[in-house]
Every structure is written in C-alpha cells, then in structure tokens.
Structure 1
Amino acid sequence: MLTQEQISAYNEDGYVKIEGLFTPDEVEELGSEMIKIIGDWGEETIGWRGPWREKYLAEDEQQATKAVLMHNPHFYSATWGHVMFNEKLVGCVQDLIGSSVQWHHTVLHAKPPERGTPFPMHQDYPFYPHDGLDFVDCLLHLDDTPLESGSLCVVPGSHKDGGLEHIMGPDTAPHLPTDVYHPDKVESIPIPAKAGDVIFFSYCTIHWSNVNRTDKWRRSVRFGYHDSAMRPVGRYEDKVESIPIPAKAGDVIFFSYCTIHWSNVNRTDKWRRSVRFGYHDSAMRPVGRYEDDPYRIDPNNVLEGNTNTIVSGYKTNSEAN
C-alpha cells in the first residue's frame, strides 16, 4: 500500500498524509451516514475544557466554541462498522507497524462552522497508554479541510521523545504544559487535507488544531490501531481475566448477581437477543442506600418488597402480596 518513501517519512517525522485513500463515493456514503449519526445522537459542547483555553482563545471565545465529539460511531451505523476493517486503511497501518494489527478506537471530531473548537498541543498517548510505541492514529477527513478550518498541525519528529507528562485532572482534558508547549513557542506545521485523505501519525506525535473559522463543517474521524502484542498500562495493577460464553438459541446461562460480567459489541450482521430473568430465595428482602451517601448500599436498610411473585415454595402469590 505505502511506498518506502512514505514509510520512511512516517518513521522520521511521526506522520504521513495519504491523499485520496478513500474514493469520493466512499466519502459520500460515510459522510451521509455521519450526518444521520450527528443528527440523531450527537451533542454539541464547547469541546475540551481546561485552563489551556486561556492561552489559545480570546476571552470572548473561551466559553463560546462548539464541537461534536462521539466515540465509536459504529455503535450507531453498520456502514461505519465496516470502516475499521477497510483493507486500504488497515493495509497502510500494517506497512507502518507490522502485519499483526489490533483496532483500538474510533472517534468523531466535528468542528461546526465559525467557532469550531480548537485542541491544545498534546499527544494521544496519555489517553490510552500502552507498553509500546507501535500505535498509529489515522485521521480520515470527510470534508475538505483547509488551514482556516482548523486543520491538524503536528510537531515533526516529536514522537521520538516518547510519552511526555501532560496536565491532567477532573476539570481538564490531557494537554501539554502551555508555558512550554504552545504554537507560539514550539514550531509546528499545518496539514491541510481534502475529503478522503488520511493522515497517519504516531500516538506520541505532538499535535494540535486551531478554531474552525469557515462557514462549513470540519468533520474528521480518528481510528486507532496498534501492534496486537501491545498491552494497556497505567490503569489497573492486575489484569482481570474473563472468559467468553458463546451460546446457541435456547441455551440459558445461570449466574449469581454477584458475578462480574460484561459483553462486547455485536459486530455481526444479525440481532443478538436475550432476556434475563431474576430469581431469589423468598426469604430475602431488598435493601437500600445509606442516608448520607446515596451511592453506597446499606445492607441493614431493609425495604418493603413490592414485587413478591413467589414461583415455588410454601407461599402462594396471593399470600405473598
């Protein structure tokens, strides 16, 4: 897919732009689906919060920018579910980091016209740190993205420094310290793009983007892939092992309500329908929460039961009620 020159550019600069990787017809289909997704499910916000806004925006703009940010659009559209397996997209990633590739995430970054939010200088590494460097972000453009629309800007070669310490906390998105890393202090280059272009960049490449000041949307979708041998770090001391339980129609899985369980995305072209029934010993009673902490269960706060439908044992349903 990629030439040796393009691969070398990625290794040296931390990014490479591939023009027209997606055809106009593909972009039209994906863009139409994205319009539906944004209309049905999107929520407009000011974008990333944090003290960095004081350094990137005029005072009257700091709380007035707009953004629509959505994780995993394939939850809402089968069309977008196919993109993460796109042979052209995955083939380019394989050329950059090797043949064994694992998808990690998909995120929509949509900047509305006139005041589409900027993003401060940052790496993507602190958002999903892993134990290696072979992690590629792929920015697919659904719209023509000139400089004035807030195109991606990168610091060439910055990926060679590895993961850097970011400003983090409950009231801010991760970003690099503005007294050191700011467009006025660190040289970066803009990467204007056309609809269908894809920019591949390392998750350690420092990047940012400015306000969209045009009268058109700036929509791009980022896909993250990494070497399948890499593992996430910094989240849990020990990995929690779980086992999948495939089932046939008619099978029933019985499990305790204290059993930890989860399920992944349905990536097939068929429905996955299941119905859960809950039963308990008829002597058990529901319990409530602590009066001073509604988020903690108080096992001594026994409540009156109001759904006592006893299906076996010495009481009838009428006696139970």
Structure 2
Amino acid sequence: MSLIIAYIGKKGCVMAADKRKIGYFGDKENLEILETELYNGMIGSDDEFKRRADELGISVKITDDATKLKIVGNCVRGEVSTKGTFETKRRRIYGTTNGYQLVELLGSEVTSRKSGESGIIIFGNNFAKKMAENLISKRFKPSSSLKSKGEIFEEIIKEVALKTPTVGRNCDVLKQEPQFDASKSQRHLNVTIDNDVKVLVKFRQNLTEQIVQQNLEIEMASKIINKGDVGKVVSIDGNMVFVQLNNKTQAMDGNWKQLAKPGQNVIMFTESENIEIGDKVTIEDEDLCLKKDKSPLKCDVILCSL
C-alpha cells in the first residue's frame, strides 16, 4: 500500500513517498479477492474501495500519516513493510550520491542486499508502479535539479493516487547530496545500513522486553489480593508490625519483583492500640486491616496470591 520513487545520480539522491497506510481485517479468502482487485487497478477510488470492502465483509482503516522516508547518515531511506502473523517484512532502499542499496528484512534479519550506482527505483504494487513508470517516461528530465525531480515525483504520486486507493495524495520528499564518488558511496552505505539495522535490532529487543513486562504486569495484576486472609501478627514494635504471610500470599514491589515469600515477614504500620501477637491480618473490600476489629493497616508492598 505504498508508492516510493527514488532517483540516484551523480549529484545526489531524491525520494518521494506517499503517506498512506491501510489496515484490514476479515475472512482470508475475501481479503485475497479484495487485494487482487486493488492491485489489478479494478478499484479506482477510496469510496469504491470502502464499498467493495463492505460487500466482502472486510473492515478497513485508511490513514494518510505514515512516514516512509527518513534521513539516515548521508542517505535517504525509503521503506515499505508488510506485517505477517509472526514477523514484519521490510523492503528498504538507501540512496545517496552515486550509489544505492536495496535491502530486504524479515523482522530484523537481512535476507537480501543488492547495490547499484544510479537509476530510478520504484516501490509499489504492479498497477501503481506501471502507471508511475509511464508518467516518469513522459515527464522526467535527466538534466533537471534534484529539487525539480522531487517535485515531478510528488506530482506523479498524486496523479497515481487518483486512480488507486493503494496510494495516498499526501507526500514526503527528501534529498541528500554529499560529495561521494561511487566507491565512497558504497562504503558509506555499508556502514550506514549496518548501523541502521543494529538500531532496528535494538528497537525490537526493547519492544520484546516491553511486551514481556506488560504481560507480566497483566498476569500479576490479576493476582493482587482484594479479599481474604494474608497472614498473622508475629511481632509489634510501637506502630510497626511484623506480619508473617500465610502459605498462599507473597509480597511484590512496584516492578513485580518478589520481596517476601509465603511464611516470610513483611512490615506493616498501624495506629491501633488494640493489636496483639497472633492477630490475623486480612483484606476486606480492598482494604488491609486486622480481622478482629477492622483496624486499618498500611504497607509498602503489593500482596498477591501465588
């Protein structure tokens, strides 16, 4: 669901990309029908697309704020991606003066990497790509400036968007023009791409850690005790009370690390003068208290079931 047009030459690199992103959900067979009609140019507008999706029972969400271009080092990077069941497939072009590389990734693993010195590269579905190629053959001027080439690419993307909902009219255009010969260009691309992939690996690792932490929080939150006995008083020192947890209760900190196991003691505080060793501690209506008279207790831990 993208159209990216890149020019790489002796004076630099310029890329233009639409900002459309489409998400859909529904029956797999009907999704394949919808995609086939989209990519063959049988659906010509957003309204037609929404109507056809409704007919097929497919839920769609169209946005035009995706960022597909980025400056990385002295390169412009364009990316299209497809989310699968388990991994995201990415196809990238990195361009600079006198050089480019095409990189394909599955997750954060590079599966293909090709290089070249100059040319016009187009990412898009067959219908959008053929239409863009036809318009470029009529309008592209090799002698024009990078700025002018970018403006032509932007006009072409907007024109293609009138014929297919797979491309949006909103565009980004970026250019880079360092002083690189072909050899220096490829050296710079190699270093830039290697570092950029490392950033992606780090990002995915952090994302995985966040997901694991979120799952842990969800799991532990479901174990927070809001009703029932949690232990008994085993020692009293002024308003500080030592409570031995029963065999079904553990104490956690705010990061869900265990501070006390069943049978171990935790510190609580009370203002009650009617407290004795052996008193049971309970939670009623999410309030921590003495079972015998509902005198409130406070603690700095989270009491959870095993």
Q: Hey, which of these two has a bigger chunk of helix by percent?
A: 2
Q: Which has the larger radius of gyration?
A: 2
Q: Hey, which of these two has a bigger chunk of strand by percent?
A: 2
Fold agreement, TM-score > 0.5: no
TM-score (normalised: structure 2): 0.26
